[in-house]
Amino acid sequence: MADSGGSEMSDFTATYSETATVESNSNHIGNGSVAYEKVDSEESLRNRRRLNGTAVNHRDEDLRKTTSSSQQNGLNFSKHNTSSGDKESFEEVSLISACLTYLGFYLLMVLGYINQLLFKPKVTKEENREGYVPLYNSFERFYMLYIYRRVRDCWNRPICSVPGAELTLKDRITPDYGWTFEFTGTQTRCLNLGSYNYLGFAAADGPCADDSAKMIEKRGLAYCSSRQELGTSFLHQDLEALTAKFLGTEDAIVFGMGFATNALNLPTLMSPGCLVLSDEKNHASIILGLRLSGATIKVFKHNNMKDLERVLRDALVYGQPKTGAPWKKMIICVEGVYSMEGSIVKLPEIVALKKKYKAYIYLDEAHSIGATGPHGRGIVDYYGLDPSDVDILMGTFTKSFGSAGGYIAGSKRLINFLRTNSHAHWYASSMSPPVAQQIFTSMSIILGLDGTNEGRRRIEQLARNTRYFRRRLAQIGVITYGHEDSPVIPLLVYLFSKIGAVVRTLTTRKIAVVGVGFPATPIMEGRIRFCLSAAHTKEQLDYALNVIDEISDKLGLKYSRKPRDPNPIEY
Amino acid sequence: MIKSITDFINYWYFRYLMVTELYMVEKWERVTIHVIFLVIFLLFWYFNYSVLLSFTGRILGITPISSVLHAATTSKFSAAA
Ligand SMILES: Cc1ncc(COP(=O)(O)O)c(C=O)c1O
């Protein structure tokens, strides 16, 4: 970490030696508000900013961001990224806002109980069940009926078009505060900031859609059988070969469902007596797979390498519980881009730990494949590592490729083992032909096999959109989580009311976004999650950003206490 | 002028509804909570006024302004008589 930061800093000093010395000196002075008036060149003019005492600790980070902005918005892919933590930000909210959030939640709970006492909920009840315990968890039920229900119109909204850069929402109203909904019969065309359509391959026309439609005519819709029986065709074999080529591994295996790829293959690879180190923010499918496997699970703090090493070393020293016998094997389970936090895994450090302690790495690239790295090959490509450093590369086709399904890639031996042992390979029905064709065509485009540089263009467009959107949001003064290169951008709003108000207001301004609340996040960290796509144009993003700027004043979303960049952000 | 004041009040009332999560509840629930808030506020006020004020006054040795005024007026009257 230290030397990576150093190299960036030295770049910086080389280019702006004048400004750098001025500003680093003022770091020591830096309390109270300081206005930098020294103007040496055009570059330092751009670096000029005003800050106040509380913000001084964020300064280094900001300087570095300015550096990368001058390298053409960081699109300079020649230098490999390093995982120094300064590109990632998890700004904490003030204590007062935190207390108010909890207070509001308790208020909602109290009101919920009063409401439940006074009125019968408008839902079906189990009858003739004397002596039975309730089948459903009572707190969850209460939460669904009296907290979630009040803002239910912001979730599960029906759409009636392809979710590309824009989508069509089917309008609905609720006459009774979310108990029931009625369709009004009208539709709204909205800008779509909520789909995992990172490379914009979800489209109703274009080569992917045409090829898939042709494949339906040729092969039908399904094989209705598992891969081990009658479900294998040349399509799957070609797709596996192409996936292996795309990722730079020896072999790959594909499955018809991403969730099942995790949930059913992890138990194949692990058994009781194995040790799993799992990030606390891992996806439900990984957690399910790990629980099914019966392995001992140790959870480490999100993206915290010190904690990982501590947990790993402790587990290694004490061995298996009760017996103290050595572990059969150790696996570190992480994701590439975390879909709720917008953070990127610190893979170089994990690879170093893996080599030190002789553990294996299981990397879930569901959100990073296609979306990160100069060639769109995911996190391994992003950090410029060797694919063979990661033992098990898992990913899904559901996001960047605009299709469905999952893969596991790695050494030939690993894949052969999975082919003979995996439940998903033996028992789950195989991938449908048009779905496979969609992946095949989109992957060929990313690889440039179609003879154009369309794939390259999309990857660069996404990287550019991401940087632009994140930096504009920081300028607006809202709190966003995560890494500056991650196309998933959670905007923290904290309160349930604010989730509801933001989603509703943005819908009236023709922008569709996704809110994420309690069961998926901690109680006090409600957020709006933007997912950018290569299909978005600068004009669309500008429109969205202007609206967000406007409403964040109205709704009070400007929680950030970091210094803001006073200069216009270039695209 | 009046419009800007009502705008200001509306804006901060809306922000207050947001922060207390009352934005997303039904109207009668909002009223109930406001009544409860008001009752709590009045109780506090009464408690502070009647108990806390005289208690702290006695500890800090401050004579409440009302009794000073009262004493002053009564002495004036007695002088006139
Ligand atoms: C990290 C991760 N793994 C696996 C999955 C499951 O993929 P699918 O939706 O294709 O079943 C998801 C999907 O949301 C995910 O985020």
Report CA-CA distances (Å) from A317 to A306, A312, A502.
16, 9, 49
DSSP secondary-structure letter at A429?
B
Cross-chain Cβ contact A501/B18 below 8 Å: yes
What is the band of A331 on the pLDDT scale with cuts at 50, 70, 90? Answer: very high
Rounded Cα distance, A310 and A302, in Å: 13
Report CA-CA distances (Å) from A451 to A141, A446, A536.
54, 10, 23
* Residue-level pLDDT at B53: 80
* Residue-level pLDDT at A391: 94
Q: Is the pLDDT of residue A79 over 70?
A: no
- Please tell me if residue A426 touches chain B, with a CB cutoff of 8 Å: no
A195 Cβ inside 6 Å of ligand 1 = no
What confidence tens digit (pLDDT) does each residue in A505-524 have? 999 999 999 999 888 888 88
pLDDT, mean of residues A426-450: 94
Burial of A183: CB neighbours in 10 Å, binned 0-12, 13-18, 19+: exposed
- Please tell me if residue A518 touches chain B, with a CB cutoff of 8 Å: no
- Contact at 8 Å (CB) between B53 and A138? no
- Contact at 8 Å (CB) between A153 and A501? no
DSSP H helical ranges for A294-411: 305-318, 347-357, 379-382
* Residue-level pLDDT at A49: 37
Helix (H) / strand (E) element for A443: namely: helix A433-447
Shortest Cα distance, chain A CAs vs residue B27, angstroms: 10
Q: Which residue of B has its CA nearest to A175?
A: B26
A403 Cβ inside 6 Å of ligand 1 = no
pLDDT, mean of residues A546-556: 91
Q: Is the pLDDT of residue A433 over 50?
A: yes
Rounded Cα distance, A88 and A82, in Å: 12
Report CA-CA distances (Å) from A543 to A331, A408, A506, A538.
45, 39, 11, 9
Q: Is the pLDDT of residue A420 over 70?
A: yes
pLDDT, mean of residues A111-128: 82
What confidence tens digit (pLDDT) does each residue in A353-412 have? 999 999 999 999 999 999 999 999 999 999 999 999 999 999 999 999 999 999 999 999
* Residue-level pLDDT at A520: 83
CATH 3.40.640.10 intervals, chain A: 207-447
Per-chain mean pLDDT for chain A: 83
DSSP H helical ranges for A77-170: 95-118, 138-143
- Please tell me if residue B19 touches chain A, with a CB cutoff of 8 Å: yes
Spell out which residues of chain A touch residue B14, defining contact as CB-CB under 8 Å. Answer: 554
Cα dihedral A330, A336, A341, A343, rounded to 10, equals 110
What confidence tens digit (pLDDT) does each residue in A524-538 have? 888 999 999 999 999
Atom 15 (ligand 1) nearest CA: A366
pLDDT, mean of residues B69-73: 70
pLDDT, mean of residues A341-363: 94
* Residue-level pLDDT at A240: 96
Tell me the percentage of chain A whose pLDDT exceeds 90.
Answer: 62
Q: Is the pLDDT of residue B59 over 90?
A: no
What is the band of A177 on the pLDDT scale with cuts at 50, 70, 90? Answer: confident
Three-class DSSP labels, A90-107? CCCCCHHHHHHHHHHHHH
Report CA-CA distances (Å) from A444 to A203, A489, A521.
16, 28, 36
What confidence tens digit (pLDDT) does each residue in A461-509 have? 999 999 999 999 999 999 999 999 999 999 999 888 999 999 999 999 9
* Residue-level pLDDT at A82: 62
Looking at domain A207-447, does it have CATH number 3.30.70.100?
no
DSSP secondary-structure letter at A526?
E
* Residue-level pLDDT at A473: 92
- Contact at 8 Å (CB) between A410 and A248? no
- Contact at 8 Å (CB) between A368 and A336? yes
Cross-chain Cβ contact B33/A107 below 8 Å: yes
* Residue-level pLDDT at B19: 86
**Residues 436-495 of chain A whose Cβ lies under 8 A from any Cβ of chain B:** 495
In this structure, what are the phi and psi dihedrals at residue A186, rounded to the nearest 5 degrees?
A: -100, 170
* Residue-level pLDDT at A1: 37
Nearest in space to A146 (alpha carbons), one of A183, A173, A120:
A120
* Residue-level pLDDT at A96: 85
- Contact at 8 Å (CB) between A401 and A373? no
Q: Which residue of B has its CA nearest to A153?
A: B24
What is the band of A84 on the pLDDT scale with cuts at 50, 70, 90? Answer: low
Report CA-CA distances (Å) from B52 to A294, A519, A555, B59.
61, 43, 38, 10
Shortest Cα distance, chain A CAs vs residue B17, angstroms: 8
pLDDT, mean of residues A141-145: 86
Q: What are the tokens at A260?
A: 């099942």
* Residue-level pLDDT at A450: 87
> Which of A93, A106, A111 should one mutate to test binding to chain B, selecting the residue with the greatest count of B CBs within 10 A?
A111
In this structure, what are the phi and psi dihedrals at residue B62, rounded to the nearest 5 degrees?
A: -100, 130
* Residue-level pLDDT at A30: 34
Burial of A99: CB neighbours in 10 Å, binned 0-12, 13-18, 19+: exposed
In this structure, what are the phi and psi dihedrals at residue A277, rounded to the nearest 5 degrees?
A: -105, 115
Nearest in space to A200 (alpha carbons), one of A243, A165, A248:
A165
Rounded Cα distance, A504 and A153, in Å: 8
Q: Is the pLDDT of residue A142 over 60?
A: yes
Span from the CA of A366 to the centroid of ligand 1 (angstroms): 6
What is the band of A57 on the pLDDT scale with cuts at 50, 70, 90? Answer: very low
Q: What are the tokens at A415?
A: 């894949």
Q: Is the pLDDT of residue A19 over 70?
A: no
Cross-chain Cβ contact A108/B15 below 8 Å: no
What confidence tens digit (pLDDT) does each residue in B8-52 have? 999 999 999 888 888 888 888 899 889 999 999 999 999 988 888
